[in-house]
Amino acid sequence: MLVLSLANSSNYDRLTQEFNKAKIEYLKAVVNGDEQEEIKNLNTIIKTGKELKVDTSKYEVSLKSLYAKQSNTQAVIQNPKPKTTQTTQSQQSSSKDTIKNIEVLNNDIIIRLNQKATVSDLSFFQEKGKVHKDIFEVKGNFKDALSTVVQIEGIERIIINQQTPQRLRITIINNQDPKSIYMLSGNNIIIRTNPAKIPKTTLKKEEKVGQRTSFLRAKTIVIDPGHGGKDPGAIFGKNQEKTAVLAVGKHLKEYLLSRGYSVYMTRDSDKFLELKERTSFANSKNADIFISIHANAVDIKNASNAKGVETYFLSPARSERAKRLAAIENKQDMKDLDDSSQNALLTILNRSKITSSNKLAIDVQKYMLHEIRKQYKDTVDGGVREGPFYVLVGAQMPSILIEMGYMTHNLEGKRIFDSNYQKKIAFGIANGIDSYFLNNP
């Protein structure tokens, strides 16, 4: 009986691990728009879920919907409808990029495409003179774009016109720099202008989701610059991790405040905090998300190869790299627990927020890289990873840990302490946060 019980227990653990992994991979596939991966992981979720006697009905509905969508697509390809109108060659070639709609909500211009929006769908440049112009060009055509003029508070003029059958231009004209930013959210491109001019006194947490930008600006964010005080973090030469991460945290706070968020920092000076104090602070502020900022380091023999920007969310470590990094970041706490005890604790505490933290990590990583690579094109994508970081354990909200590069790398180590790089990291994080809330209101 004992042998049978152990075998059943082992099989249950294996199925549970397979079930949870498939859910994470399914989420990533949804975010990346990879339908084949969605189908593959949905099948795994349903199969293992049934063996675990878990309700998988919602996954079965999603799978059925995906199969139906693929079936309809095949039917259209095999049995195209007869043409009822003539279509020009330029319209045919740009049909997949057609813009469905453009609307203005509060201070945002929302361009709705008929497929997932990507960075390649948009280009941006500025013209500066007596007046400032921020010019966005969107791939595709919009049937109603006949030199349209729209109004946004605080901006002198916005003109939308179709430059060519395959390129729509949006020109934002103002006496001062419009300070435009953009975000990608599903099939939408969101252009936000001059966010600093929106008065925070008008924002209310009870505003409806329909007023999308007001909803965004009601969110509370806690920024946690790692280490501090007697804990310098990684040290390389005369540089200390605690100094660089505090600078990034302060820039991030400025960017988020200018967009109307409520923002708090666990430390805004060279102060030591226990790991549990940091998340307790976030919980006391009823934060919507918690962002912990760090810089990476390795031993000298590996310094020339280890580089890149990484974002972690809380979970038992899946790789030796994550375990190594976690050992460095966690040395102040949890030192008395063995590996199995640590993993058990992480599984219990993290179960409710693993999905939302993973989504947040994906958005922040994507927008950080996009912003940094505008100037530092050689920046390596270290990816979104799972890791057992105890600074995230007590947080009662989606939470991530950012490693903004390797102090021990010859080039990256210098950048981390450069103000321009620090600002780009912070700006990218802010855009990722915007994207997360737009996708997960």
Question: How much is the mean pLDDT over the chain?
Answer: 76
Give 348-362 pLDDT, tens digit per residue. 444 557 788 889 999
Residue 10: what are its φ and ψ, rounded to 5°? -65, -40
Of all residues in the chain, the percent with pLDDT exceeding 90 is: 27
Nearest CA among 339, 255, 337 for reference residue 291: 255
Amino acid at 22: A
Q: What is the pLDDT of residue 9?
A: 65
pLDDT at 96: 46
pLDDT in tens, 143-153: 765 445 567 77
Would you state the pLDDT for residue 145?
59
CA angle 189, 190, 192 (to 5 degrees): 150
Task: Give the pLDDT of residue 438.
Answer: 76
**Model pTM score:** 0.53
pLDDT digits (tens, 9 = 90+) for 299-348: 888 888 899 999 998 764 444 444 454 454 544 444 444 454 444 444 44
What residue type is assigned to position 346 of the chain? L
User: Which residue would you say has higher pLDDT here, 154 or 420?
Assistant: 420
pLDDT-derived band at 69 (thresholds 50, 70, 90) equals: low
Cβ contact 405:267 at 8 Å:
no
Give residue 20's Cα distance to chain centre: 21
Within a 10 A sphere around the Cβ of 151, how many other Cβ atoms? 9
What strand order describes the sheet that includes 108-113?
99-105, 108-113, 188-192, 181-185
pLDDT score of 214? 39
Residue range 425-437, pLDDT digits in tens: 999 999 899 888 8
pLDDT at 289: 94
Interval 365-396: pLDDT, tens: 999 999 999 999 999 999 998 876 666 666 77
Q: Is 215 a residue whose pLDDT tops 60?
A: no
Read off the pLDDT of residues 36-51 as tens digits, 9 standing for 90 and up.
Answer: 888 888 899 898 888 8
Per-residue pLDDT tens over the stretch 97-138: 478 888 777 667 888 888 888 878 888 888 887 788 888 888
Distance of alpha carbon 254 from alpha carbon 44, whole angstroms: 44
pLDDT at res. 80: 38
- Pair 388, 316: CB distance under 8 Å: yes
Closest CA to 404 of 377, 378, 426: 426
Phi and psi dihedrals of 364, rounded to 5? -65, -45
Rounded to an integer, the average pLDDT of 175-198 is: 74
For position 28, what pLDDT does the model report?
Answer: 64
With 90 as the cut, is the pLDDT of residue 290 above it? Answer: yes
CB 211 within 8 A of CB 198: no
Using left for φ > 0, alpha for ψ between -120 and 50, and beta otherwise, residue 208 falls in: beta
